[in-house]
Structure 1
């Protein structure tokens, strides 16, 4: 092959580069580029982030502005310069000739992934979402990969990383480098401050009235949120949970009961009230429950919009009304009180764990089971949690048993994998996790088939409890952890900050069933409960309603939040 010799860039007199193929041409191109200062690399990287990864932020910040007015253009330009300068300040502090390439590579890759899901599903990277991502298992994460994701990662993650590694960095003696770096940082601060002051009135109004938009500024959003999550988890690591169970005891009425109790609490996943057949939805997604003697609560709301928030919150003494994430995670849960009074407590899970609410209690992880009828090697259908329940009941030391079943439910975006083929009732369906390839009708149909399967699972759970009614007083309560967006206003999945989350993500189904023996033993008037089922309830009621209904005395019990209080003898 003919070789071509080219002189290298200035600073290497007499040196030549011999080119023998396409790869050598690329190397020659970068070799002839002048070395770049780390400071300019930081500025260019910040510009790249602002231009390529912040579409959602600028769309939200500039929405509904009058573009015939010069003030709108000034605000847009000032906002762009401010964000770019502020992110440049951070990079100028962190980058040097040793850290620049590896650190920027990580930032490019992670920011590309973050921006993809932000733009595709309207994700806000606040602390709740970052914690949710960190707790996501490999199976769950794998369902989010697609060809479009890979292309996006290649363009906005891999290629910029390769470019950075190809660039030559200019080296400067340490004594000169420090004042030069400080000069760049001061200049960036002046630019950021000047551009912010120029638009301060509009900018302060935006930050005051739409606080959540700051979690759209990438990569600052996930870096800030990650630091808070790590700090909180580090502070709580190896610290025993604060006890709330010490004073708990069974009420005197327990001594008169003739049968042990078996109570099943089903924690649903990603089922929204809008698609619940018993709430009047156009698709009959609850045909089996509709034929049973159940109490349906059509006006129930969740504590959060993702599992990491809702599950700890619904079992806590704080709830949404007094929401404090640190306190919720640092205190014992409702389950610890139930276990303390001598009721055997078991958590059976087909998802990603109990999120700390069952720490120190029996936890059975069933998602990796090998049952060929219910499992495909990666995931299991929720009926796996009913397998072996006879054994769980028989192991209860004193007979009284409280079981939590944590569903995989309707976790998206792979709705089509949440139900067996026999439940493919509503068609056409979306048979891929890449929702962009499906119509709204297909997505909704697949989701509804998943709800239909939850209906079947709950009916089957009730059927199991009925088989135990000769020996036990039995009851079941179902409550989904949060809802789901299915494309309304361009929003998909869940996890939006609670203050701006649509009702599709916060309104959830809730259903209760109890045997006649349970109602009699615990003095619950089922007719009264049925009449009151139309009242507004929330996950805040769970803690106090369970304590009240099971006649467990605790100083943390609040009768005003017990939805059964007015219907018990």
Structure 2
């Protein structure tokens, strides 16, 4: 038998539920903030949940109408439950970039977040309350009485908000000014507002006309030598520079490339904290300061410019999508069904990218660039990113609810992913060495963004850039150049090694460095952003 509740009473119950249950991560964060303050007014502390209740009451009242109330709150309860779990367990912050990342996540990636604890939370805080709302028979008063009830509830909320502002405005202003992340944690306003921005930009605005860049691009110099250039560009996933032995990390996560004399760039900043931003940004000429998602998706990237100049480009995908950067160049997406020994649960180990590689390179022409998009260290199921025989650090964490693993096991698992990527890069370098009789060869590796492993209560990535810790923005970049490639390009490797250890770089450098090392002349090229330029003979 369904429950019976008057419209306003159900509305107030839902307001209380959102304020005190689904916004529990925000309240916990506020408690942590207040504990760090020297002087806190008792009245200010008491006013916080009252403020949240009054604000949610105002926001939700327009949706308490017949035929609107049930579907609206069912949707908010289900999405709010998922959002609160992400914030409570991983410290996720729902700004526009994070929501964009969620929208663009592949089913296989989404499955990696499933665990007993996530399902339990969703069942108890999302599904069950939503079912109760669906089973409730809501008693709606006559329209004039319902309108007066809503106006009365709005008046009470406005009076309460006014009283709180009058008494504690300075306290709220101080806390808000120093903790801007709070606005991205409120359920459901944070992800609803971010989702609206994405929907508006994609579907309600007139799309920018597609813009071609580097229409004058041409190959010059050594591009016309007797032996073509073959460059491997490896785009890493979720690797942070702090866990690279080559950058001073205390355990040997780079035993394989260390013997290959790779050059490690110690100070490299990402363009974003999520793949959906970093990958389009690093392949564009917009730079992080001027990056705009719509612009990046409506203009050429560096792969397009290289192809226009006559460089043969191939993209090999193992991370669920290239975020638009490979849309106009030949692309091979690794299929789990084709490589059952290297794939499980619709996800492949990155060594699958080596399959068919020699044949693919042979089918290309002239100077060649092969880009590999790795699964890398994609979490939270880090344990699925490396094979058993390359599990070096134990005990590891063979589960997706990583917050329930010990810190030692979590770091061991993550470091195993870094070590496996290092092994893969060494295999690629050996493959290039075997092709030196045909090509001048080299490799560049650059991760898209980093990862939090519990530092400051944060896990995974996607924190708004202005608030993100270094663990999410400091990324590794490695280079290996054959002696013949260095000679043909006039690159002084000693100079490059010194620049790598002393200089500061970012993903802004990739666009122009690729044009430079592939000897492509174009008005789109900016020498000051070419990492190779200072170390090349003029």
1:78 Cα offset (Å):
2.7
- Residues 1:114 and 2:83 aligned together: yes
TM-score, normalization: structure 1?
0.89
Secondary structure at the aligned position of 1:97 is classed as coil
- Residues 1:205 and 2:174 aligned together: yes
1:183 Cα offset (Å):
4.0
CA distance in 2, matches of 1:489, 1:69: 21
CA distance in 2, matches of 1:441, 1:431: 13
1:54 Cα offset (Å):
1.6
What pairs with 1:71-470 in structure 2 (closer than 5 Å)? 72-235=41-204, 240-251=209-220, 253-254=221-222, 256-396=224-364, 398-470=365-437
Contact 1:245 1:337 in 2 (8 A): yes
1:82 Cα offset (Å):
2.5
Contact 2:223 2:518 in 1 (8 A): no
Pair 1:140–1:255, CA change in 2 (3 A): closer
Contact 2:264 2:500 in 1 (8 A): yes
Q: 2:6: which partner in 1?
A: 36
Pair 1:485–1:467, CA change in 2 (3 A): same
Contact 1:244 1:332 in 2 (8 A): yes
1:325 Cα offset (Å):
3.4
- Residues 278-307 of structure 1, C-alpha deviations (whole Å, 9 max, x = no match): 122222111110001211112222111111
Secondary structure at the aligned position of 1:266 is classed as strand
Q: 1:526: which partner in 2?
A: 493
Which structure 2 segments of 5+ residues have no match? none
Contact 2:106 2:320 in 1 (8 A): yes
1:233 Cα offset (Å):
1.9
> What is the aligned-residue RMSD (CA, Å)?
2.2
Contact 2:223 2:229 in 1 (8 A): no
Secondary structure at the aligned position of 1:402 is classed as strand
CA distance in 1, matches of 2:331, 2:434: 24
- Residues 85-129 of structure 1, C-alpha deviations (whole Å, 9 max, x = no match): 222222211231212122211111111111111100000011111
Pair 1:488–1:166, CA change in 2 (3 A): same
- Residues 215-252 of structure 1, C-alpha deviations (whole Å, 9 max, x = no match): 0111111111111111122257875532223232223x
- The farther-off stretch of 352-361 and 473-482 is 352-361
1:192 Cα offset (Å):
3.1
- The farther-off stretch of 274-283 and 401-410 is 274-283
CA distance in 1, matches of 2:35, 2:472: 31
CA distance in 2, matches of 1:66, 1:447: 32
Pair 1:316–1:167, CA change in 2 (3 A): same
Secondary structure at the aligned position of 1:384 is classed as helix
Contact 1:321 1:540 in 2 (8 A): no
- Residues 1:547 and 2:503 aligned together: no
1:354 Cα offset (Å):
0.9
Q: 1:508: which partner in 2?
A: 475
Pair 1:420–1:240, CA change in 2 (3 A): farther
Secondary structure at the aligned position of 1:63 is classed as helix
1:207 Cα offset (Å):
2.9
Secondary structure at the aligned position of 1:533 is classed as helix
Secondary structure at the aligned position of 1:309 is classed as helix
Contact 1:369 1:380 in 2 (8 A): no
What pairs with 1:469-488 in structure 2 (closer than 5 Å)? 469-488=436-455
Contact 1:349 1:367 in 2 (8 A): no
1:327 Cα offset (Å):
3.0
Contact 2:240 2:475 in 1 (8 A): yes
CA distance in 2, matches of 1:157, 1:49: 11
Pair 1:69–1:474, CA change in 2 (3 A): closer
Contact 1:67 1:73 in 2 (8 A): no
CA distance in 1, matches of 2:452, 2:185: 19
Secondary structure at the aligned position of 1:476 is classed as strand
1:64 Cα offset (Å):
4.1
1:470 Cα offset (Å):
1.2
- Residues 163-192 of structure 1, C-alpha deviations (whole Å, 9 max, x = no match): 222322122333544454344334433433
Relative CO higher for 1 or 2, CA cutoff 8 Å, sep ≥ 6? Answer: 2
- Residues 419-462 of structure 1, C-alpha deviations (whole Å, 9 max, x = no match): 01110111111111121332111111111111111011101111
Q: 1:495: which partner in 2?
A: 462
Pair 1:198–1:522, CA change in 2 (3 A): same
Q: Which of structure 1's runs of 4+ aligned residues deviate more than 4 A? A: 66-71, 235-240
Q: 1:10: which partner in 2?
A: none
